[in-house]
Structure 1
Amino acid sequence: MMETLGRSLKMNPALEPARVFLAEARLDQEDYDAAAHESEQVLAANPASLPALSTLAAARHLQGDQARYEDARRRALALNPGNAELYNRLAEISARNRLYRQGADFAQQAVALDPRTWRGLGILGLNQLRLGAIEEGRKSLEASFAGDPYNVWIKNTLDLLDTFPKYRETRTAHFRILLHGKEADLLAPYAAELAEDAYARLSARYGYRPDGLVRVEVYPDHADFSVRTVGLAGLAGLGACFGPVLAIDSPSAREVGQFNWGSTLWHEIAHTFTLGLTGNRVPRWFTEGISVHEEHRARPGWGDDVTVEFLRALRSGELLPLADLNRGFVRPKGPEQVAVSYYQASLVVEWIESQRGFPAIVSLLKAYGEGRSTAQAFEGVLGTTLEDFDKAFFAHLEQRFAGPLAAIRPATKVAMPGLGAARTSPADVEARAKADADDFGAQLAAGLALFHASKRAEALPYLERAQALFPEYAGRDSPHFYLAAIYKDQGRPGDAVKELQQLTAITDSHYQAQLELARLLEDQGDLAGAAASLDRALFISPFEPAVHERLAALSARLGDRGGLVRARRSLVALDPVDRPEALYQLALALVEAGDAAAARREVLHALEIAPRFQRAQELLLRLHDARAGSTNQ
């Protein structure tokens, strides 16, 4: 699109719609100086261009230049004093730059000028929802839709709001967590505990506490999450944060192994702190980089890790310079560039912290909150230009990833055996691997081909070589997982455990790796390690009863009464076929934990369903006798 736009302007530099569009694109990239320049070029030729005055006013507002914003606003209103569209555009552009409160304020001004600006009412409602004002937002959207019933964004959002009565709210000290009723009992304890852990650690680290309770919405249908975020289905993301409100996919919204809902929740909560600390004026790349970095710090394996695509971009010089890194998020060449930009941004944050200490990160956030550009913030806080920073940072990356960089072949696409028109044979793939022992892709392809052909002994040296060339590779076809399977077959459980531990330390979504690691650790007598692996698996998928049964058994053997109760509650929440038995087992766990009152409630629930359940009757009598005995003493 940008190339087409460039060609249009080359043929006609004075083409006003194209130049205004370019100005808005620059605003989306948070390049406010460039946006103002493009707007002023239009106004030099046509001082009465309301679209250009709107983008100029938006650029000045986003720069925090109140005097020049007021000048542009006055010029626009002088042309048309009732110009509600000026404020609509300011509201829309502010929201696209994460300034949702200002977006709502501008939309309110548009509605004050023209109560029949249905677009303004819609923008107002969407921003009210983003700020957590749900009832006010619904009223604004309903008024907008009554005037313009063909706005699909508003219609979708109103349909979503109609589903909210199906959600149940769990309140903690700092959060309001909304979960669909069908999975609230299961997810609420895990989400609440994790959210409060994140709050405690991040508030201490950043020296900031959000005002009021943070609203967390967890959607079991990805299309609903997408509508909540952008008004349409089809958004590829996993979570979104508006500051006081955040939304994520439930683990039921995706196939098992596609993501880790715990790390996603942590990522979005981190945004709440960086957005709040800066008044939502933090650049997109910096807040995303911090959130991924905080995932890395939260739990082993959480957050994005190095990929083949990242290494190829680094070696080919395709990583974006810091001054242009936002483009990787808002105007990417393709989905791969988005993922690469997330990881690159996290490495920038990590490197700054390692070189200058964490206070430098906080100082940069405060500089952004004061309205400074990235160039100004880096000069003032780090004492460096962006160009000098890029040189040092890219040199650091070349050194850090020197090993795997040498093993990546940029233009090579490995054809897997039996796939594609060429129908590459295992022998062809193996020949390629033998021809270049330092080609990671070739070694991995040969190892996998032989493994899947049930030639595991022959696969072993290729997989070991692939692992040695790129030990941080965490893809679904990571050699670590297959090596663990081979080592287990060979009676080498210790080596299998090491491979799985290395894999789960660099990826947060390999469900089978966590389950297999738990089995091996339990076999070796490491019950605590096995339970920890199963706990980590629950943040990938918590819906498998067998996993909770294993956790219950391990917790009982470890004497972990709290863990036993949690596992038993989870099994009840999964709506088992034999619900009375599950309630009875929960009651026993509560007795072990010393909570006789709760145990009595659960056993009564069991007897309500199955009045002749003898063991439950006996437990109730025991609880009654114990209660009577304590009363008589």
Structure 2
Amino acid sequence: MIRSPLPNILLLSVLLLSIPSLTRADLRGDLNKGYELVDQWRIEEADDFVRELDNTYPNSGDVLFLKARVEFFKGDYDTANTILKEVEETEQVVKDFKGLVSRTQKASAKFVTKETEHFRIRYIDGPDEILIHFAEQVLEQSYKVLGGIIDYHPQEKVLVEIYPGREDFSKISPLTLKDIMTSGTVALCKYRRIMIITPASALRGYNWMDTLSHEFVHYLLSSASHNNVPLWLHEGIAKNLEARWRDGEQMTPIMETVLASGIQNDYLVKLKDMMPSFAKLKSAEDVQLAYAEVSTMVDYLIKLKGGTIISSLVKSLRQGTTFEEVIQKEVGMSLPAFQEAWKKDIKSKKLRTIPGLRVLRFEFKKKGEKTPENEEDIPSAFAAIGGKRTRDLVLLGDILKERNHVPAAIVEYEKALKSARSLSPVLYNKLGGTYLQEKQYDEARDLLTTTLGYYPDFPTTLVNLGELHYQKEEMTKAEDYFQRAIRLNPFNPFLHQRLISLYKTTGQKEAKANQEKLYGYLK
């Protein structure tokens, strides 16, 4: 979520006929009202209002510029671009907006649209069509569950756009490629729409379904509050609720660890430093820390005032009341006092610091790179393992394994695991997968279950656990792990093949047919 100020009201005199000063004053007031409607995401009202302005001021470049913004927020980039051709570039804000519209039009030129009951989903026709099956599940369930919590259900169909990679994503958003790579940001809610990078662009996929739900929370908050929720609270509520659609947990082990460490070391991200976006923070570690802070602040709000506090805050902010007044009224204390109370509450929880737990870097594919089926096919996997001694032991294990000396390879991997300073899921899966190859199921299960507790969204762990139970003919457990993995990375052919085989074995004809249809999108 990135907040930006209203554009300056321009009065593009070069495109105006000579009009009386009173009319010019009226125009300025009307433009202010129009921009306010757009900023508050009241786009349907803004659309009607601009039509009235077009009749009142038929030769106004300013009205045309406002009209182009309305069309852009409606998701009609072609119309916005056509209108902007009639507006001269006399001000920087016009040049910047023309550039944004042009880049967005080009980036979305190949999009096709699929509609669900409450959403319009745009994507590039091809393998990404597989995402629609999953996106409809998370979005429609989020509409029901999260809309109920925030007490707001959009009447318009929410626009969702799936972009093919980080390059296009950086062109249509305020984020640079550096921002994206540093923070791991893969989605935004801005311009009254949700924008996300396809998991096909990630080496292992990622938790894109919870990410979609997270951004939908932003959409609800922006719409319901007329864009008056402060950034830290926006992100706190979104992080707190992002897994609620599936009854998931909101505090991950890495979030608990970074927050516990931040409290112990007296290093926290200040609320003012979170502006203008978490994606602009200096490191992935700071991003996780900031999320842990604001999410637990929301937890504390709920602890103090109950679950309805979120909708109460949003309704009060919708009236234009300042946040300082709202928190004093709804919570009974100032923001600084609330933060101090929150710190005291967090310290009382005695959060765990798990030694060796690290923030995992988001890894994008290179252009044209295929989805790797095995961890060994990921070039960066080796570098992510840890120190030099650990990597040397792993390298020796890899050589032995490649030469089919698997028991000897296991010995070296076990040495590597003991020497490792980090709890690398790559190393755990390398050893766990080799145990599995040797049918040492108990050892594999113990190791893989351990690393899953540290990194619950690491796809390779879920794949290996699914395979373990598949080989043991424990099909219910195998299906659960494979389905969890495929929700993170629907582009892994192995998962589809395994599930098709599983459904054939268990006689689930309809499930098998549905899986074959999904697999067909990848061929």
TM-score (norm 1): 0.61
Find the aligned partners of 2:295 and 2:242 in 1 and give their Cα distance: 10
Instruction: Give the direction of change, closer, same or farther, for the CA distance of 1:350–1:487 in structure 2 (3 Å limit).
Output: farther
Partner of 1:418: none
Partner of 2:335: 386
Pair 1:317-2:274 in alignment: no
| Stretches of structure 1 lacking an aligned partner (at least 5 in a row) | 1-26, 33-50, 55-76, 411-441, 468-475, 576-633
Pair 1:218-2:156 in alignment: no
Deviation at 1:510, TM superposition (A): 1.8
Partner of 1:552: 500
Aligned counterpart in structure 1 of residue 458 of structure 2, from 503, 510, 522: 510
Deviation at 1:490, TM superposition (A): 8.8
> SS of the counterpart of 1:525?
coil
Aligned counterpart in structure 2 of residue 137 of structure 1, from 60, 65, 80: 80
Query: Contact 1:168 / 1:179 at 8 angstroms: preserved in 2?
Result: yes
Q: Map 1:214-363; keep pairs closer than 5 Å.
A: 214-230=158-174, 236=180, 237-242=185-190, 244-252=192-200, 254-257=201-204, 259-299=206-246, 300=248, 306=254, 310-321=259-270, 326=275, 329=278, 332=281, 336-363=285-312
Report the more deviating stretch, 122-131 or 238-247.
122-131
> SS of the counterpart of 1:539?
helix
> SS of the counterpart of 2:267?
coil
Partner of 1:601: none
Deviation at 1:189, TM superposition (A): 1.8
Query: Contact 1:239 / 1:246 at 8 angstroms: preserved in 2?
Result: yes
Partner of 1:415: none
Q: Which amino acid aligns with 2:83?
A: S
Query: Contact 1:99 / 1:280 at 8 angstroms: preserved in 2?
Result: yes
| Stretches of structure 2 lacking an aligned partner (at least 5 in a row) | 10-19, 359-384, 398-411
Partner of 1:195: 139
Query: Contact 1:223 / 1:234 at 8 angstroms: preserved in 2?
Result: no
Find the aligned partners of 1:339 and 1:91 in 2 and give their Cα distance: 37
Q: Which amino acid aligns with 2:484?
A: R
> SS of the counterpart of 2:86?
helix
Find the aligned partners of 2:509 and 2:88 in 1 and give their Cα distance: 53
Q: Map 1:48-63; keep pairs closer than 5 Å.
A: none
Query: Contact 1:156 / 1:231 at 8 angstroms: preserved in 2?
Result: no
Aligned counterpart in structure 2 of residue 564 of structure 1, from 500, 512, 516: 512
Find the aligned partners of 2:145 and 2:305 in 1 and give their Cα distance: 21
Find the aligned partners of 1:234 and 1:143 in 2 and give their Cα distance: 34
Report the more deviating stretch, 198-207 or 226-235.
226-235
Find the aligned partners of 2:171 and 2:66 in 1 and give their Cα distance: 14
Deviation at 1:315, TM superposition (A): 3.1
Instruction: Give the direction of change, closer, same or farther, for the CA distance of 1:313–1:110 in structure 2 (3 Å limit).
Output: farther
Instruction: Give the direction of change, closer, same or farther, for the CA distance of 1:151–1:498 in structure 2 (3 Å limit).
Output: farther
Find the aligned partners of 1:115 and 1:553 in 2 and give their Cα distance: 66
Instruction: Give the direction of change, closer, same or farther, for the CA distance of 1:328–1:176 in structure 2 (3 Å limit).
Output: closer
Query: Contact 1:100 / 1:242 at 8 angstroms: preserved in 2?
Result: no
Aligned counterpart in structure 2 of residue 526 of structure 1, from 474, 477, 485: 474
Deviation at 1:449, TM superposition (A): 6.5
How big is each residue's C-alpha offset from its partner over 1:442-485, in whole Å with a ceiling of 9 and x where there is no partner?
A: 9999766655554333345456x976xxxxxxxx6577646745
Instruction: Give the direction of change, closer, same or farther, for the CA distance of 1:301–1:114 in structure 2 (3 Å limit).
Output: same
Find the aligned partners of 2:57 and 2:429 in 1 and give their Cα distance: 63
Partner of 1:70: none
Instruction: Give the direction of change, closer, same or farther, for the CA distance of 1:571–1:358 in structure 2 (3 Å limit).
Output: same
Find the aligned partners of 1:81 and 1:335 in 2 and give their Cα distance: 49
Find the aligned partners of 2:473 and 2:105 in 1 and give their Cα distance: 50
Find the aligned partners of 1:339 and 1:462 in 2 and give their Cα distance: 27
Query: Contact 1:243 / 1:276 at 8 angstroms: preserved in 2?
Result: no
- How much identity, in percent, do the aligned residues show? 19
Deviation at 1:569, TM superposition (A): 0.4
Pair 1:457-2:414 in alignment: yes
Find the aligned partners of 2:109 and 2:416 in 1 and give their Cα distance: 54
Deviation at 1:519, TM superposition (A): 0.8
- Corresponding pairs, count: 463
Find the aligned partners of 2:510 and 2:299 in 1 and give their Cα distance: 36
Q: Which amino acid aligns with 1:175?
A: F
Query: Contact 1:141 / 1:158 at 8 angstroms: preserved in 2?
Result: no
Query: Contact 1:551 / 1:564 at 8 angstroms: preserved in 2?
Result: yes
Aligned counterpart in structure 2 of residue 372 of structure 1, from 318, 321, 325: 321
Deviation at 1:347, TM superposition (A): 1.9
Deviation at 1:568, TM superposition (A): 0.4
> SS of the counterpart of 2:121?
strand
Deviation at 1:529, TM superposition (A): 2.2
Query: Contact 2:503 / 2:511 at 8 angstroms: preserved in 1?
Result: yes
Find the aligned partners of 1:552 and 1:262 in 2 and give their Cα distance: 22
Query: Contact 1:154 / 1:231 at 8 angstroms: preserved in 2?
Result: no
Partner of 1:536: 484
Instruction: Give the direction of change, closer, same or farther, for the CA distance of 1:486–1:538 in structure 2 (3 Å limit).
Output: closer
Query: Contact 1:104 / 1:128 at 8 angstroms: preserved in 2?
Result: no
TM-score (norm 2): 0.72
Instruction: Give the direction of change, closer, same or farther, for the CA distance of 1:110–1:195 in structure 2 (3 Å limit).
Output: same
Query: Contact 1:555 / 1:564 at 8 angstroms: preserved in 2?
Result: yes
Deviation at 1:269, TM superposition (A): 1.7
Query: Contact 2:465 / 2:481 at 8 angstroms: preserved in 1?
Result: yes
Deviation at 1:168, TM superposition (A): 2.0
Q: Map 1:580-599; keep pairs closer than 5 Å.
A: none
Partner of 1:48: none
Query: Contact 1:84 / 1:114 at 8 angstroms: preserved in 2?
Result: no
> SS of the counterpart of 1:218?
strand
Find the aligned partners of 2:435 and 2:348 in 1 and give their Cα distance: 32
Deviation at 1:144, TM superposition (A): 3.8
Q: Which amino acid aligns with 1:294?
A: L
Find the aligned partners of 1:518 and 1:331 in 2 and give their Cα distance: 37
- 1 or 2, which has the higher helix percentage? 1
Find the aligned partners of 1:558 and 1:154 in 2 and give their Cα distance: 57
Partner of 1:426: none
Find the aligned partners of 1:330 and 1:512 in 2 and give their Cα distance: 26
Report the more deviating stretch, 548-557 or 80-89.
80-89
Q: CA RMSD in A?
A: 4.6
Deviation at 1:157, TM superposition (A): 2.9
Instruction: Give the direction of change, closer, same or farther, for the CA distance of 1:212–1:331 in structure 2 (3 Å limit).
Output: closer
Instruction: Give the direction of change, closer, same or farther, for the CA distance of 1:500–1:330 in structure 2 (3 Å limit).
Output: closer
Aligned counterpart in structure 2 of residue 99 of structure 1, from 18, 23, 40: 40
Partner of 2:375: none
> SS of the counterpart of 1:179?
strand
**Relative contact order (C-alpha < 8 Å, sep 6+): which is higher?**
2
Deviation at 1:520, TM superposition (A): 1.3
